[in-house]
Amino acid sequence: MTTLNDDEVRRIRGRVPSLNEIDNAPYKGVLVDLLVPDHQWLQERDAAVALPDYVMTDRQTCDVELLLNGGFSPLRGFMNQQEYEGYVRVS
């Protein structure tokens, strides 16, 4: 795994526009930005080291990418088991 230093992180993230700066009109007028703010990014990266590894399928990886880049906006995440079962009972 490649580790980036602070200057590399700033350089890379500096080229990425905020989702709210993009000129596409989002669904229902809300574009959810799920990226960690620059001032918090290094802290979150360091905390992530303690999290367990999880191998995702290509489909799961695609879903996470779509959440992060606003493709599923205005959704902010996935349903947990209780939410899913409640939805299935109502539908």
| Residue pair 33/20 in contact by the 8 Å Cβ criterion | yes
Kindly report, residue by residue over 60-85, the tens digit of the pLDDT: 999 988 888 778 877 788 888 998 88
Kindly report, residue by residue over 47-58, the tens digit of the pLDDT: 999 999 989 999
The SS3 call for residue 45 is helix
Kindly report, residue by residue over 12-55, the tens digit of the pLDDT: 666 555 555 555 566 667 777 788 888 998 999 999 999 999 89
- Up-side HSE of residue 41: CA atoms within 13 Å toward CB? 16
Kindly report the length of the chain: 91
- Which residue type is seen at 35? L
Does domain 6-90 bear CATH number 3.40.50.20?
Answer: no
Give residue limits of the domains in the chain: 6-90
Q: How many CB atoms lie within 10 A of CB 21?
A: 9
Q: Encoding tokens for residue 61?
A: 């990886």
